[in-house]
Amino acid sequence: MSACVPTRHNRTSRSPRPPRASGVKRPHSPPPPRGGRFRIAGADVSASITVFLLAVPMSLGLAVAMDAPLQAGLISAAIGGIVAGLLGGTPLQVSGPSAGLTVVTAELIQVYGWRTTCAITIGAGLLQILLGSLRAARSALAVSPAIVHGTLAGIGVAIALAQLHIVLGGSPQSSAVANALALPDQLGRLRPAAPLIGALTIAVLVLWPRIPGRIGSGARRVPAALVAVVTATTVASLAAPGIARVDLPSWRSHVLPEVPHGPVLALATAVFTVMLVASLESLLAAMAVDKLSAAPAPTARASASPPPPPGSPGSPTTATSSTPPASTPPAPTPSASPSPPSPPAPPVRRADLDRELRAQGIANTLSGLVGGLAVSGGAVRSSANVRAGAQGRASTVLHGVWVLLATGLLVTVLEWIPLAALAALVMMVGIQMVSLAHIRNVHKHREFLVYGATITGVVLFGVLKGVTIGIAVAVAVALHRLARTRITVTDQGGEHLVVVRGQLTFLAVPRLSRTLGQLPQDGNAVVELDGFFMDHAAYEAIKDWSTAQAAHGGRVVFTGRSGGRIAEPASAAHSCCRPWTPWRNHHCHDEPGRAPEAGHGPRTPFTGARPGTDPIGTPHDMPHGTPTPTPAPASTPGSPPSPDVAPGRAPAPSLHRSPGRTTGPPAEAARPTGGNRLISGLSSFQRNTAPLVREELARLAAEGQRPSQLFITCADSRLVTSMITASGPGDLFTVRNIGNLVPLPNAESGDDSVGAAIEYAVDVLKVESITICGHSGCGAMQALLGAKPDPQTPPTSLWRWLRHGLPSLERMASRHHAWARISGRLPTDALEQLCLTNVVQQLDHLRAHESVARRLAEGTLRLHGMYFHVGEAQAYLLTEGASSGLELDEVFDRVDPGDPADSGELERVGI
């Protein structure tokens, strides 16, 4: 075996699948029984009160928006909390009147009346019970996210338009279009009382979560909705006593459902619509709660024992997390006796979606029977429940009990609430249903047409017709993408470049065969395949043409979009060394008798297909634009294939090796180490790289450095800053230390070196941005998690430095801060959670430096948080609002590979 064969890592040590009786549940499986008693923790009681204070004004507001009896909103909130909370498969999800059904229910009340609407709710609940018993909950999530988010956004637009009329002192019309057309007339009859109360409510809703400092941290414990309604009620009672207020009718006038009257098909359509919207809203909310509650508890996250590793059956990220690095470097251990290991955290129980759907059906059936609104799981109430520290379903049930008591004891208090305040509250809920994050996401996945068609259909024609339109457009777009294939041929001086963009199906075979047949049979050709699917008909057409070209003396190379070969000859695995990537398998340079090879162009030389081999791999296995960073020369007939390289795959480079482990043949063990390796690397630079960069470095030497960024990152050897930021000389002013820590200014046992670098970069070099970059498998963070200093042992230099990371550990364990998350998945364990939290905490430390605070106030400096996953070679950026300290949610978004010509995103983050 050649010494150039990449190092392979042992990935076979995986946890075996547990038996069914082990009690460890896979994602979205029913939680194991916890005993017969209903346990109530203190945290559940406090969380239930928080959710109750949020649920009462929202329930009343949604009832007003639907033109339903106001007590119906309170009834559905109580039943949703108690019944769905006791029986549901998502213990922390809070159910109540559905915001997504606002438009549907309002239309049903206008057409059929309130009593028939209750009967329709009963029918929808029975249908949910049936579907849950048939285990159809998972199938509901097969609907395209663009359709689901477009439906909710369309409903949100309709809600906002209807409630705007009430905020302006009028009454809503029968449809979203009628509400939009009636706005000019409503503005002409404007009276100031209701709009001012509505504006006050909206202002409090927007500003309350943004109160800075310790005051804001304490104030955010009280729901903004409650503060807004209380404020508006107080001001209205003093300044506008004649404003329209809540009017709760006597319970004696409360009506129950009746046998529905009307066309059977129309009633069945109504039942199906209510069931569909309520089920989708509940299941999406359950998935969102799952992601929030799957993160370790604050105390567990600070424990020395992390949760189960990703990929194990008990891991909270089995279904969503990516593969971690193959080997984690040992953490630096201070000279202190480690604390005894804590018992492993119990496996996180995921939602049982079928059980949740059955529970929602039972709650809807009971709510309709007693004259309540339709029930669904709510993301707003549920997230408030999780963030308030709820530990089990007791919080959800108690919230329903408090709502039930309020309907009998707080009638007088509730009747003081102005209708304009409730309308403003519901209008903001509708506006928030049109999520900019969802719009960006569907646009990124090229599904904005489906999203826009669904919104338009829901607003113009109703929910069910809007969903149907969205599905039809989604199917049309999918067929168009499948059938659309662009084939172009360019003559490049004796060779032909054939570019195939799109999916290669049987529909494209006639045009593809005609185009390939027009090429000279004895000529050279490069076929660039830019797609991710090739069916059998297209595969056979290309293979037959390639074989015919080789038989006539022609040479064909198949590449991806970036020019890398899709099927590299086996001998290419042995040509792994290139002067522009000396770190990749650099032990190749040290093999006796081997010298670095000369550089090559962007594409490989033309090679014909050898008899008996496939030139393009196998069908259905064509990666999208598969690049090969080190193109290889033509294969030599008869060269033995490498046992470590699969056919049709380029060898995966090994970026690091475990210390003390021999991974190659005996010849590799004799390679130079230490100083000899340094001299070898310097010689390689002088021979290959220096001639290319000498002119640029001479210019920088004459002009001086003017970097635009200060980059603070860890000293970990696997973090190559110039590589992951695609930067060169003069671009980055870099500070590296253990743990990418930024000591607070004037802190005890502080370190002036980092502060001096920050001051020099900000005040002298006038950098435009500062980035703090953490990474996966950080040894410093592992040391903070796994060891504590011994009071009887003098602290070492390492531990004195690591003290600057203790605030990050405290932040992760605190309930007053949002949990740092990675977009699309949860942190794999407590170590990754601390690595993410540390980036956010060090940004806070950075803002405490006087020079940084001054430039931030002037608006001439931007801060960025970054996380680099070493094993994935993937960068994540902290959202812009969180980086600037203006957002509560700390989410690291994945940086996707984009078109080099489209550098707007990179310019936005300053990297």
Q: Is 552 a catalytic residue?
A: no
Instruction: Encode burial over 493-507: b for 16+ CB neighbours within 10 A, e otherwise.
Output: eeebbbbbebbbbeb
Coil, strand or helix: which one is 543? helix
What is the C-alpha to C-alpha distance for residues 818 and 812, in angstroms, rounded to an integer?
Answer: 9
Tracing tokens 């407590």 back to the chain, one arrives at 830
Catalytic residue among 44, 352, 354, 716: 716
Q: Residue 426 half-sphere exposure, CB side, CA atoms within 13 Å?
A: 36
Cβ contacts of residue 844 below 8 Å, gap of 6+? Answer: 885
Residues 220/211, Cβ–Cβ less than 8 Å: yes
Taking only Cα atoms into account, the Rg of the chain, rounded to an integer number of angstroms, comes to: 32
Give the angle 266-269-271 at the CA atoms, nearest 5°.
Answer: 110
**Start-to-end Cα distance in the chain:** 41
Q: CA torsion angle for 897, 898, 903, 909 (degrees, to 10)?
A: -40
Alpha helix positions (H), 306-352: none
Residue 508 to residues 501, 545, 547, Cα–Cα distance (Å) = 11, 15, 20
Catalytic residue among 576, 588, 778, 835: 778
Report which of 341, 309, 314, 306 is spatially closest to residue 325, judged by C-alpha positions: 309
| Cross-strand bridge partners of residue 500 | 487, 529
> Residue type for 359, please?
A
| Cross-strand bridge partners of residue 558 | 527
Q: Is 354 a catalytic residue?
A: no
User: What six digits make up the tokens of 23?
Assistant: 């009690």
Catalytic residue among 4, 577, 588, 714: 714
> Residue type for 561, please?
R
Catalytic residue among 775, 811, 817, 821: 775
Instruction: Encode burial over 344-356: b for 16+ CB neighbours within 10 A, e otherwise.
Output: ebebbbbbbbbbb
What is the C-alpha to C-alpha distance for residues 93 and 631, in angstroms, rounded to an integer?
Answer: 53
Cβ contacts of residue 476 below 8 Å, gap of 6+? Answer: none
Q: Is 620 a catalytic residue?
A: no
User: What six digits make up the tokens of 839?
Assistant: 């980036």
The three state secondary structure string of 574-614 is HCCCCCCCCCCCHHHHHCCCCCCCCCCCCCCCCCCCCCCCC
Q: CA torsion angle for 757, 762, 767, 770 (degrees, to 10)?
A: 70
What is the C-alpha to C-alpha distance for residues 179 and 619, in angstroms, rounded to an integer?
Answer: 54
Alpha helix positions (H), 652-759: 666-669, 675-684, 690-703, 721-724, 752-759
| Cross-strand bridge partners of residue 864 | 771
Q: How far is CA 521 from the centre of its chain?
A: 50
| Cross-strand bridge partners of residue 713 | 736, 773
Residues 756/816, Cβ–Cβ less than 8 Å: no
Residues 377/360, Cβ–Cβ less than 8 Å: yes
Instruction: Encode burial over 208-247: b for 16+ CB neighbours within 10 A, e otherwise.
Output: beeeeeeeeeeebeebbbbbbbbbbbebbeeebeebbbbe
Q: Is 118 a catalytic residue?
A: no
Catalytic residue among 443, 718, 825, 847: 718
Q: Is 778 a catalytic residue?
A: yes
Residues 635/571, Cβ–Cβ less than 8 Å: yes
Give the angle 54-55-57 at the CA atoms, nearest 5°.
Answer: 80
Q: How far is CA 759 from the centre of its chain?
A: 35
Q: List the catalytic residues.
A: 714, 716, 718, 775, 778
